[in-house]
Structure 1
Amino acid sequence: MPRTFRILPFILLILLPFITKAGSIPMPPDTTVTEVNRSRLYLLSGGFAAGYSAMLISLNKAWYAEQERTDFHFFNDNSQWKQVDKVGHFWGAFHQSRAGIDLLRWAGVPDKKAILYGGLTGIILQTPIEIFDGYQADYGASVGDIIANTVGSAAVVAQELAWQEVRIMPKYSFHTTRFADVRPNVLGSTLSEQALKDYNGQTYWLSVNVGDFLKEENKYPKWLSIAVGYGAEEIVYNSSSGNRAAGFDAHRQFYLSPDLNLMHFKGNSKVWNTALYVLSIIKIPAPALEYNRKDGFKVHPLYF
């Protein structure tokens, strides 16, 4: 099981106090910031540095200290888990960088600098963990993870530079599966663990805000997005051979579903805007059309 997903709750705890501020930030071109708020910038950088340093030290002592260590090396896991873990890395890095950009805007950093520097947040958060992994005997630093993290951060930077907003939002959804009971130590024994570890129940989406690509006079509802999703099932073991040996037929799943553009509903309430900002990383349950090679096309009246 990829280590990054196990530490994701710690990263979210570090970002959460700042995300609550980022959620109510007016986005350009509504507001043009001309002066850096140094007190906010110092608060942001100091709080982030302290929180992230504490997390890395705690992980190194409490988790990595229990693992057998070797010289630094790389580990090729690109063929494992039908690449659902790599898509998850993309999703995580995207939203970490998205928060980093908006937090620098909150601190008054000029917009292009906020985009370029804040866009590095996902890479900055994830790279030290890959370095730690590189010294572990049971695995190693993953080039695939590093690439997925970089592409995730680059995706939000590209959209901000091109459109000054996010029009294609990566999202996550989850449902419980019977496969977690087969290997609860790997896929999770509780709901919270399964949400992080059971790739059979995870679906990752690209939600396209169609209305943002149309002219202002177009009557298409801007709150209605179209999402394409990717997942996999019967991946109980990380390798295809392991799944086959256990009688599982690991296969990919592709989805098409309507979605809500939650950021369209922003208002004057900071609490409301923050809630929308945080929830925008999750795909709202909705009807979905699925295709996979085992069953062909399937219709889900309500898909999580």
Structure 2
Amino acid sequence: MHIIHKILLFYLLINCSAAFAQDSTKAISDPIDYSIASRFHSNDYVPLNLSYKFFDPQKKDKTALASQPIFVNSERPLIDGTIWRTNSDVNYLRLTSMLGAIAVVNTVAYTYQRKVWYTEETTVFHSLEFLNDWNKYQQMDKFGHFTDAYITSDFSAKIYRWSGLSGNSSVWFGALTGWIWMLEIEVSDAFMAEWGFSWGDMLANTAGSAFFILQQFNYDALGGIQPKISWHKSEAWKEMRYHKDPQALIEDYEGMTFWLTVNPHHYFPESWKKSYSEWLAPLGLAIGVSAKDIGAYPWAGYKEYFIGLDIDLKKLPIWEDSNLLKFIMSEVNFLRLPLPTIRFSSQGTWFGFYF
């Protein structure tokens, strides 16, 4: 049934993409009436490049072209190496190949999960008690679900744009794909006796995908904010203090830190940006949260809070000639690099390089 579910989802995405591709044949009366999202992405685009397509099925004299409908599709290169299109111009070879690759990766990941996590007793579909689940691990698992949903939504949207979908379509399909990806995990958990469907996880998943949508359509206000993660093997794992030994790093909650980073350069007035060094543009601020003493008893422990420097790898002025490198850096940028950081907790204050 799981494989059938994937095939149906794959088929649905292709057909939905075809439906959205129809907007590439719409006549636009005002070629400067760009989408909301493309306007708010103006800080991350190069100057506008318009291509005009004329269609004359009767092959009449070229002077008749002036009376033919004008089809307009504006394309703006993004800082992540993809292109934001006003209208879809789908490359179905790219789309089907990438959806196929995603399906393969998803199947491999699910098989790995089955071997690592889903080895216990199975049962009927059931859900967890909300507050009891919410109070576990100092909400570190919920921060993780929010971040994972955002990252998968963002990655999926890039794939859809690379495949030729319009900017608006890529945002909606990307968020939907990221959300469904996370939903699949929850449904699998729901049949495990030790686990269960978590409404708290689903709330965090939805918040992550929703924030991605809000950010893309309100880029001036939210484009300078990015969720990031960092991880180091915790002392709890090294000293085997977990009530159940972690099978993978994503179960080492005490070693994870989740961040929201802010890039001030994004919010500078244009007049400031002209005189601001391009090498200083990537510098930003990171605010993070982690937890300790939650391994032995998930409902115990305390939070740690962090504030430190951050570098937005996308803004480094060394990827300008390669869309592939721009794309790779936009993905690596989800990792918060080891940089000077101040940590605050009930145990005191600490300063140093932290990852």
Which one of 194, 218, 223 corresponds to residue 282 of structure 2? 223
Whether the 8 Å contact between 1:156 and 1:166 is mirrored in structure 2 is no
Partner of 2:240: 182
Structure 2: distance between partners of 1:253 and 1:100 = 32
Partner of 1:237: 296
Q: Deviations over 1:280-302 (max 9, x none)?
A: 0100111112211232xx24221
Partner of 1:283: 336
Q: 1:137 to 1:252 in 2, by over 3 A?
A: same
Which one of 97, 110, 117 corresponds to residue 43 of structure 1? 97
Whether the 8 Å contact between 2:79 and 2:314 is mirrored in structure 1 is no
Q: 1:199 to 1:59 in 2, by over 3 A?
A: closer
Whether the 8 Å contact between 1:23 and 1:275 is mirrored in structure 2 is no
Identify which range, 176-185 or 80-89, moves more after superposition: 176-185
Q: Deviations over 1:165-221 (max 9, x none)?
A: 8421111112233211133683548xxx3x322222211100111111121222563
Which one of 73, 79, 83 corresponds to residue 126 of structure 2? 73
Whether the 8 Å contact between 1:226 and 1:259 is mirrored in structure 2 is yes
Q: 1:284 to 1:108 in 2, by over 3 A?
A: same
For the residue of structure 2 that corresponds to 1:70, the secondary structure is coil
Alignment-mate amino acid for residue 213 of structure 1: Y
Whether the 8 Å contact between 1:122 and 1:150 is mirrored in structure 2 is no
Q: 1:62 to 1:196 in 2, by over 3 A?
A: closer
Partner of 2:164: 108
After superposition, where does 1:17-96 map in structure 2 within 5 Å? 25-28=81-84, 34-53=88-107, 55-56=109-110, 58=111, 62=115, 66-76=119-129, 77-96=133-152
Structure 2: distance between partners of 1:61 and 1:141 = 16
Structure 2: distance between partners of 1:216 and 1:291 = 36
Partner of 2:260: 206
Whether the 8 Å contact between 1:159 and 1:167 is mirrored in structure 2 is no
**Bigger RCO of structures 1 and 2 (CA < 8 A, at least 6 apart):** 1
For the residue of structure 1 that corresponds to 2:218, the secondary structure is helix
Whether the 8 Å contact between 2:82 and 2:323 is mirrored in structure 1 is no
Structure 2: distance between partners of 1:62 and 1:175 = 24
Whether the 8 Å contact between 2:149 and 2:208 is mirrored in structure 1 is yes
Partner of 1:121: 177
Whether the 8 Å contact between 2:118 and 2:192 is mirrored in structure 1 is no
The share of aligned pairs that are identical, in percent, is 27
Structure 2: distance between partners of 1:172 and 1:196 = 11
The CA RMSD measured in Å over matched residues stands at 2.6
Alignment-mate amino acid for residue 301 of structure 1: G
Partner of 2:227: 170
Q: 1:62 to 1:285 in 2, by over 3 A?
A: closer
Whether the 8 Å contact between 1:285 and 1:303 is mirrored in structure 2 is yes
Q: 1:223 to 1:59 in 2, by over 3 A?
A: closer
Structure 2: distance between partners of 1:34 and 1:179 = 50
Unaligned runs of 5+ in 2: 1-77
Higher Cα Rg, which structure = 2
Q: 1:70 to 1:281 in 2, by over 3 A?
A: same
Structure 2: distance between partners of 1:79 and 1:173 = 22
For the residue of structure 2 that corresponds to 1:66, the secondary structure is coil
Structure 1: distance between partners of 2:88 and 2:308 = 41
After superposition, where does 1:126-145 map in structure 2 within 5 Å? 126-145=182-201
Whether the 8 Å contact between 1:119 and 1:153 is mirrored in structure 2 is yes
For the residue of structure 2 that corresponds to 1:72, the secondary structure is coil
Structure 1: distance between partners of 2:322 and 2:99 = 26
Q: Deviations over 1:12-50 (max 9, x none)?
A: xxxxxxxxxx9963354xx65652212211222233234
Q: 1:145 to 1:60 in 2, by over 3 A?
A: same
Structure 1: distance between partners of 2:351 and 2:182 = 35
For the residue of structure 1 that corresponds to 2:272, the secondary structure is coil
Which one of 299, 321, 329 corresponds to residue 268 of structure 1? 321
Structure 2: distance between partners of 1:106 and 1:49 = 17
